[in-house]
Amino acid sequence: MKKTKVIINLIVIILIWLGIFASGLWYGTIVYGDYVEELQQEQELLKREVQAFTKVSDPKTIRLYVKELNKILDDITFLGKIVESGQISAESLDLYFKEYGDKLESVNGRIKRLDTELNELDFKFKEQVTRLTAETDDNLELIDALNEEDVKRTAESDEQFMKIVRDLDSIKVMINGLEDSKINKFW
């Protein structure tokens, strides 16, 4: 009867310990999963910003603006030759220069806006890469620390389990000793 009670108590203690260990492991997994999901969202944001940066710095767009500027320069050169030959009046030239001056200002404004956006995106990109690198390093350190703690707790659990086994063995020896003793004859 006493053996059964001891064994049942031991089994209950082991089950409680395993339940606590499993719930702690489950909670750690949930917290880590939430953190990974947050990192994935930040990665998606970074990806979208990099795509915007790529679109602004597209060589086709830059080539188009350079082509337009070259056309304007060709037209101005042509006008210079016409003025030298005296074929166009000053009034026509003023209108022509005003029209192309407006176009040139428009193109310059677009180039300046694109340059500003490009610089802002470059700065944001570098800042986010730096921040994500630091966060990744911190996460790796945290994972290493958790792994070390897990190994330590597993070793402690193994050590406690072995102590329980040794205690059970000594209890068995004591019970066997009681069965062989004179006290057993009185029971």
The domain segmentation of the chain, as residue ranges, is 2-186
Residue 91, pLDDT score = 67
HEC profile for the chain? CHHHHHHHHHHHHHHHHHHHHHHHHHHHHHHHHHHHHHHHHHHHHHHHHHHHHHHHCCHHHHHHHHHHHHHHHHHHHHHHHHHHHCCCCHHHHHHHHHHHHHHHHHHHHHHHHHHHHHHHHHHHHHHHHHHHHHHHHHHHHHHHHHHHHHHHHHHHHHHHHHHHHHHHHHHHHHHHHHHHCCHHHHC
- pLDDT per residue, tens digit, the chain (187 aa), is 688 888 888 888 888 888 888 888 888 888 888 888 888 898 888 888 877 777 666 777 777 777 888 888 888 787 777 766 665 566 666 777 788 788 888 878 888 888 888 888 888 888 888 887 888 888 888 888 888 888 898 888 888 888 988 888 888 888 777 666 655 555 5
- Is the separation of the CB atoms in 93 and 87 below 8 Å? no
Residue 164 tokens, joined: 């329980």
